[in-house]
Structure 1
């Protein structure tokens, strides 16, 4: 490190350094502040967009609750306008529920298939997949339903998956497969209270 004997030498050294580096320092400060304010603006914009999507979602679901299937157009408009958010997936699931209740099974299945392919939420994926399988079974497409169920790998869903597999097997006329599936479901942590009744019925 250079040592300076007098205050004047120190001042001159600082002036020289500033001539050489001053522009770079100022530019760095400007870029740094610009980046800081730009990042804050971006974060504020993202927050505002999320809040707006949340409010719009609430309005769409409120409309669905009060009007039922008649609100399909409003909910679909929300879904189409918010496809880059998970709110659109949740709205599609709610719309599918209303469509099922109204007997529009094909439309409901299309909503659920879209939601399954769109969601990035790992917790939602098995819920939607399970509903797709249940709806396919309701439509009599048993093989497709069983294939769909095989896509759910989460251990926390083992009981529900096995039980539905048993229900489907029973509807297909395969009592042995149904009994095996129900027995498997009983061993899972999410086993339902109705399994023993189903097993007793098969044992008769």
Structure 2
């Protein structure tokens, strides 16, 4: 930084700097303010869109609860229309649950796979992967189910993942693998109370 001996020199230096840079400063300020107001408008628009999606989601879920799988066309329409929000993911999960209850396992699996593909929420994605693995196991897709479980990295799910893996291995006829998985599950913070019973059954 240059040092000036007198106030006059400082004033002259400021004037010279302003001549050279004043337009750029003003232009930058205008752009900055425009960006600020544009951002606020964008935020307001996004908020309004989210509120509308939230309200529609609530109505859609209510219709699903009342009409079950008969409402799946309306729910699917909501999902397709709101793919850029997590509400579509939640709606797909609700629809999958109803489809499972109606015995439509393959349809439910497709819903969950679609939900996982568009979800941007890590917690939801973990839950969806767990449910996908359960449905794959129900359909006899044991290897696919174990592969799906391996995508879950959240440590807070370690016990549930290992236990489900044990259940799947047991259904495959791999008792030793199941016992190892149940033992691993027992060491986790989210271990279930049924694990000891499963281990005892395998030990007989």
TM-score range normalised by the length of the shorter chain: 0.7 to 0.9
In the TM superposition, what is the alpha-carbon distance from 1:19 to its structure 2 partner? 10
Residue matched to 1:144: 144
Residue matched to 2:132: 132
How far apart, CA to CA, are the structure 2 residues paired with 1:136 and 1:21?
65
- The normalised TM-score by structure 1 is 0.85
Residue matched to 1:6: none
In the TM superposition, what is the alpha-carbon distance from 1:36 to its structure 2 partner? 3.1
Larger-gyration structure (1/2): 1
Partner SS for 1:83 = coil
Partner SS for 1:123 = helix
How far apart, CA to CA, are the structure 2 residues paired with 1:152 and 1:131?
11
Structure 1: unaligned runs, 5 residues or longer: 4-13
In the TM superposition, what is the alpha-carbon distance from 1:28 to its structure 2 partner? 5.6
Q: How does 1:1-204 map to 2 (within 5 A)?
A: 3=8, 30-204=30-204
Q: How many residues align?
A: 195
Structure 2: unaligned runs, 5 residues or longer: 1-5, 9-14
Q: Alpha carbons of 1:33 and 1:194: their partners in 2 closer, same or farther (altered >3 Å)? A: same
- The normalised TM-score by structure 2 is 0.85
Q: Which digits, 9 at most, give the CA deviation of each residue in 1:15-50, with x for residues without a partner?
A: xxx999987777566544433332221111111011
How far apart, CA to CA, are the structure 2 residues paired with 1:36 and 1:150?
44
Q: Which digits, 9 at most, give the CA deviation of each residue in 1:107-164, with x for residues without a partner?
A: 1111111111111111111111111110000011111111111111221111111111
